[in-house]
């Protein structure tokens, strides 16, 4: 879908989206359409429950007096509450309303909103971003889908004053959307297509954007003593990889320590010998969600040429049961030298991350490390599908992540860490075991990870098991892979780590 920006004039064809505020107050273009149509919008409002609230909309088909094929009136709610996110939601809803109309082009009119903190061009840029995010589809394997089941609109015009400013502000947002789309694609792909070697190839494609890529194979990881990651991988015919993506966008003079992002990339999680039940196991194709976010995030940062030194590390393995698989009770030695008794082979993500995070810290000396992982079912029990779980050794990074999450609509909720939880993963025969008891499963998982974080590194762990995949459509997040984390961390970087 192609997005254009233009100045305001009523379209000669296709659907037109206009808007209203709470109380049914029509914005300028809606007002203009209402006049031109002899009050068609006012009559439609009076004939319905539409009051301009956010979430409300109404459609007037082919009204005489204008040339648009239909006019869609969308509610924006209270003017004071129209922020970036609300404008994106508006764009997403507008896209939904026009996409399948049968027309090839459509127009969204964006008018000044008195009482909003946003300038008109900011509303336009965000509406465009929201429409783009909402237009995502993963349809490459649907070979028999009828044309009229697909979106008809291929060009969307965002019409407002100062359209040149809107277009300029949209530029970097479109790059973030590129990252989001890549993540959604990777998460949606089945595990016979995306496995460690092919996921590493996908990451390699970022070199076009100036990202420096290095890929470690099994031998190199063995040399580095990554026994935990390799222990998970050993049951699969698909060989593991560890990919490093470096984006050095900070001004050269300041050769600063980077911020690091580390992702769990279990391309399929059967549970291994501690095998999972059959029902729902197909979901475990998205157990590489953390790595998908790190790859998409690096694409976004490089795409918009962020002035930051960032390093992304992803540990890629497939967790399979086989005659070569690791057994419950096996003891492995991690790159850090610490040993782990593997009580449950289904608690594999933390094993992969232990070596990936240690390697990242040893090699790249980040000041801050944020890891992302679809780590525990327990975090879904705690927080459902709305918030990611956040664990950290630093209050400041939590505040920054919480604030960024609110701004982009990817909220995180802090969970506790502490010595009493840490004790629960002590082992009788090794330095630790890979699971705690029955309770507090996401906390004991995070305690495990913390044992692989160096003292001088600010660290946050995002357990994204509940938010990586969505079963319901939302205006800017169609059901399926959400790419939760890409916008959050892009915003975190933009607000705090760019020079």
Q: What tokens appear for 391 in the block?
A: 């664990």
Catalytic residue among 81, 204, 239, 276: 276
321 φψ region: left (φ > 0), alpha (ψ -120 to 50), beta (else):
beta
| Spatial separation of the C-alpha atoms in residues 350 and 290, rounded to whole Å | 12
Residues from 465 through 484 that contact Zn ion (CB under 5 A): none
For residue 15, which of 117, 159, 220, 122 has the smallest C-alpha distance? Answer: 159
Active site residue 276: yes
318 sits near ligand BES (criterion: CB under 6 A): no
- How many residues lie near ligand BES (CB under 6 A)? 16
Cβ atoms of 306 and 495 within 8 Å: the answer is no
Nearer to ligand BES, 188 or 376 (CB): 376
CB of 390 to Zn ion, least distance (A): 19
Residues from 348 through 377 that contact Zn ion (CB under 5 A): 349
Cβ atoms of 181 and 138 within 8 Å: the answer is no
269 sits near Mn ion (criterion: CB under 5 A): yes
Q: What is the 3-state secondary structure (H, E, C) of 308-354?
A: CEEEEEEEEEEECCCCCCCCCCEEEECCCCCEEEECCCCCCHHHHHH
Nearer to ligand BES, 78 or 431 (CB): 431
| Spatial separation of the C-alpha atoms in residues 132 and 166, rounded to whole Å | 14
Q: What tokens appear for 96 in the block?
A: 């939904």
Nearer to Zn ion, 189 or 287 (CB): 287
344 sits near ligand BES (criterion: CB under 6 A): yes
Looking only at the bridges linking them, the beta strands covering 309-319 and 330-333 are unpaired
Burial class (CB in 10 A: 0-12, 13-18, 19+), 360: buried
410 sits near Mn ion (criterion: CB under 5 A): no
| Stretch in the footprint of Zn ion (CB under 5 A) among 231-239, 347-355, 477-485, 490-498 | 347-355
CB of 171 to ligand BES, least distance (A): 35
Q: What tokens appear for 270 in the block?
A: 């059967």
Q: Which residue is nearest to Zn ion (CB)?
A: 269
In DSSP terms, which residues pair with 26 in a beta bridge?
A: 20
CB of 397 to Zn ion, least distance (A): 24
341 sits near ligand BES (criterion: CB under 6 A): no
Catalytic residue among 350, 400, 433, 487: 350
441 sits near ligand BES (criterion: CB under 6 A): yes
CB of 373 to Mn ion, least distance (A): 10
- 323's CB contacts (< 8 A; 6+ apart) are none
Cβ atoms of 389 and 365 within 8 Å: the answer is no
Active site residue 175: no
How many CB atoms within 10 Å of residue 136?
20
Cβ atoms of 240 and 218 within 8 Å: the answer is yes
287 sits near Zn ion (criterion: CB under 5 A): yes
346 sits near Mn ion (criterion: CB under 5 A): yes
Q: Which residue is nearest to ligand BES (CB)?
A: 377
463 sits near Mn ion (criterion: CB under 5 A): no
Which partner, ligand BES, Zn ion, Mn ion, none, binds residue 258 by CB below 5 to 8 Å per kind? none
465 sits near ligand BES (criterion: CB under 6 A): yes
Nearer to Zn ion, 125 or 316 (CB): 316
Longest dimension (CA), the chain: 83
Q: What tokens appear for 35 in the block?
A: 């006049």
Burial class (CB in 10 A: 0-12, 13-18, 19+), 407: middle
Which partner, Zn ion, Mn ion, ligand BES, none, binds residue 111 by CB below 5 to 8 Å per kind? none
Q: What tokens appear for 160 in the block?
A: 């407002």
CB of 269 to ligand BES, least distance (A): 5
Residues from 287 through 306 that contact ligand BES (CB under 6 A): 287
CB of 422 to ligand BES, least distance (A): 16
Residues from 355 through 414 that contact ligand BES (CB under 6 A): 374-378
34 sits near ligand BES (criterion: CB under 6 A): no
- C-alpha dist (Å) from residue 23 to 80, 167, 333, 447: 14, 31, 65, 51
CB of 478 to ligand BES, least distance (A): 19
Residue numbers of the site for Mn ion (CB under 5 A)?
269, 346, 348
Residue numbers of the site for ligand BES (CB under 6 A)?
269, 283, 287, 344, 346-349, 374-378, 435, 441, 465
Active centre residues (catalytic):
276, 350
């Amino acid at each position: 879908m192609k997005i254009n920006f233009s100045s305001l004039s009523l379209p000669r064809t296709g659907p037109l989206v206009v808007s209203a505020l709470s109380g049914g107050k029509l914005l300028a273009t809606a007002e203009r359409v209402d006049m031109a149509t002899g009050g068609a919008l006012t009559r439609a409002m009076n004939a319905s429950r539409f009051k301009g609230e956010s979430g409300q909309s109404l459609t007037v088909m082919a009204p005489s007096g204008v040339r648009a094929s239909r006019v869609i009136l969308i509610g924006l709610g209270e003017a004071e509450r129209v922020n970036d996110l609300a404008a994106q939601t508006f764009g997403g809803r507008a896209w939904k309303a026009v996409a399948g109309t049968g027309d090839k082009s459509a127009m969204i009119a964006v008018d000044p909103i008195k009482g909003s903190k946003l300038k008109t061009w900011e509303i336009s840029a965000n509406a465009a971003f929201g429409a783009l995010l909402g237009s995502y589809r993963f349809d490459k394997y649907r070979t028999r889908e009828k044309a009229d089941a697909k979106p008809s609109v291929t060009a969307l015009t965002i019409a407002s004053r100062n359209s040149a400013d809107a277009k300029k502000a949209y530029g970097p947002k479109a790059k973030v959307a590129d990252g989001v789309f890549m993540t959604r694609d990777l998460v949606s792909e089945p595990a016979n297509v995306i496995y460690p070697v092919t996921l590493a190839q996908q990451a390699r494609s970022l070199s076009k954007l100036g990202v420096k890529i290095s890929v470690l194979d099994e031998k190199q990881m063995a040399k580095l003593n990554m026994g935990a990651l390799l222990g998970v991988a050993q049951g699969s015919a698909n060989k593991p990889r560890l990919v490093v993506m470096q984006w050095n966008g900070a001004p050269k003079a300041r050769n600063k320590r980077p911020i690091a992002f580390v992702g769990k990339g279990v391309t399929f999680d059967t549970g291994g010998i501690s095998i999972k039940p059959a029902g729902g196991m197909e979901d475990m194709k998205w157990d590489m969600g953390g790595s998908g976010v790190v790859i998409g995030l690096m694409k976004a940062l490089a795409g918009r040429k962020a002035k930051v030194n960032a390093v992304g590390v992803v540990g890629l393995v497939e967790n399979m049961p086989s005659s070569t698989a690791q057994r419950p009770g096996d003891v492995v030695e991690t790159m850090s030298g610490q040993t782990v008794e593997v009580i449950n082979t289904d608690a594999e993500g933390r094993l992969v991350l232990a070596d990936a995070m240690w390697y990242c810290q040893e090699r790249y000396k980040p000041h801050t490390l944020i890891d992302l992982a679809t780590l525990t079912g327990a975090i879904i029990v705690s927080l459902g599908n709305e918030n990611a779980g956040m664990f950290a050794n630093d209050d400041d990074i939590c505040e920054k992540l919480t604030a960024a999450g609110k701004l982009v609509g990817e909220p995180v909720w802090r969970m506790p860490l502490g010595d009493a939880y840490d004790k629960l993963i002590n082992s009788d025969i090794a330095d630790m075991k890979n699971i705690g008891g029955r309770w507090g499963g996401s906390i004991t998982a995070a305690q495990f990870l913390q044992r692989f974080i160096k003292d001088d590194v600010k660290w946050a762990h995002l357990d994204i098991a509940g938010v990586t995949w969505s079963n319901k459509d939302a205006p800017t997040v169609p059901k399926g892979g959400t790419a939760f984390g890409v916008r959050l961390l892009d915003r975190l970087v933009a607000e705090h780590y760019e020079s």
